Amino acid sequence: MKLLRYGPVGQEKPGLLDASNTLRDLSGVVADIHGDTLSDAALAKLRAIDPATLPAVGGQPRIGPCVGRVGKFICIGLNYADHAAESGAAIPTEPVVFGKWTSAICGPNDNVEIPRGSTKTDWEVELGVVIGKPAKYITEAEALDHVAGYCVINDVSEREWQIERGGTWDKGKGFDTFGPIGPWLVTRDEVPDPQNLTMWLDVDGKRFQNGNTKTMIFTVAQIIAYLSRCMSLQPGDVISTGTPPGVGLGIKPVPVYLKAGQTMRLGIEGLGEQQQTTVAA
């Protein structure tokens, strides 16, 4: 299934994209797409519904983040060896974990704000993992059973605040609009191998990132098991699993960063596409 949320900011309704790419309204069935509706049992009930019996949504409504009421937005850094190299960092021996504030979350096609005074705002296409079942001290073999589904994430980053302003990375990762999620959550039964998905990102029509999840240092299963040993994971938590090479920071000889008025397009095989316009905050 492809589950999504649509409507004005803060008033999103749950929806389903059927096989003919028609948006169907799920608000008569569930209140929202969030932790309570992401268990295997809850998803099985949604899967049993004939989409043709659901109201079709007309027009072109705004698409919101594909998950509501996110409890934790957890990110993994430097998880592709070639991205670590372009960033001038050593290949990690354990996952590099940081957080984005949930206030950074926005829709997949919403504007991305360039922070005031920023000259180093960057892009990062990433595979997102949405937790569907609580996880604490689980094994790698069990890990994927705790996944509700997958989505596209743009881990927008302000490199000066991330690297040069002291402290942790979180400051440069959590500005408002720095976490576009969606367009939809694709349930795990439709993603048989999360370690073989092509991914890409363009800025103003120029391809900068072109990678595949098979080159991850730590797999999705390894990441989930690892995180479950240092925190409990709850349904609706979102994990962003790292980016392939091609970020602006890594461009030689001079890094390239975003400015207001540009367009980012990005996508992952089978998970849909995003498009954002950059604007001044």
Same domain assignment for residues 126 and 207: yes
Q: Are both 133 and 254 inside the same structural domain? A: yes
pLDDT at 225 exceeding the cut of 90:
yes
Q: Is the pLDDT of residue 256 over 90?
A: yes
Q: Are residues 94 and 129 in the same domain?
A: yes
What is the per-residue pLDDT for 36? 95
Q: Is residue 173 part of a domain?
A: yes
CATH number, domain of 113, equals 3.90.850.10
E runs forming strands in the chain: 2-6, 13-17, 23-25, 73-77, 96-99, 105-106, 112-114, 121-122, 125-131, 147-154, 157-158, 179-180, 185-187, 198-203, 206-212, 238-240, 263-268, 272-280
Average confidence (pLDDT) over 245-266 = 96
Reported confidence tier of residue 154, pLDDT bands at 50, 70, 90 = very high
Give pLDDT, residue 92: 92
Helices (H) and strands (E) in the chain, counts: 6, 18
* Sign (positive or negative) of CA dihedral 57, 112, 169, 203: positive
- State the maximum Cα–Cα separation within the chain, in Å, rounded to a whole number: 56
- Find the mean pLDDT for residues 17-34: 97
Going by pLDDT thresholds of 50, 70 and 90, the confidence category of residue 86 is confident
Domain span at residue 27? 2-53
In a domain, 183, yes or no: yes
Q: Are residues 10 and 79 in the same domain?
A: no
Is residue 58 situated within a structural domain?
no
- Whether the upstream peptide bond of residue 108 has omega within 30° of 0, thus cis, is no
Q: Is residue 45 part of a domain?
A: yes
- Residue-level pLDDT at 83: 84
pLDDT beyond 90 at 250: yes
Q: Are residues 46 and 95 in the same domain?
A: no
Tell me the per-residue pLDDT of 265-279, one tens digit each, with 9 for 90 and over.
999 999 999 999 999
How much is the pLDDT for 236? 98
Q: How far is CA 213 from CA 13, 150, 195, 217, 267, in A?
A: 31, 13, 5, 9, 12
77 and 45 share one domain: no
- Whether 158 maps to a domain, the answer reads yes
Residue 221 lies in a domain: yes
Contact between residue 173 and residue 104 where contact means Cβ atoms under 8 Å apart: yes
For the chain, the average pLDDT equals: 97
Task: Report the pLDDT averaged over residues 42-57.
Answer: 98
Kindly state the average pLDDT of the residues 153-174.
Answer: 95
Does the structure show a pLDDT above 90 at 90?
Answer: no
Domain count along the chain: 2
Structure tokens at 70: 């996110």
| Residue 188: DSSP 8-state | G
Which pLDDT belongs to residue 82?
80
With 90 as the cut, is the pLDDT of residue 118 above it? yes
pLDDT of residue 275: 98
At 87, the pLDDT band (50, 70, 90 cuts) reads: confident
Are residue 13 and residue 95 in the same domain, yes or no?
no
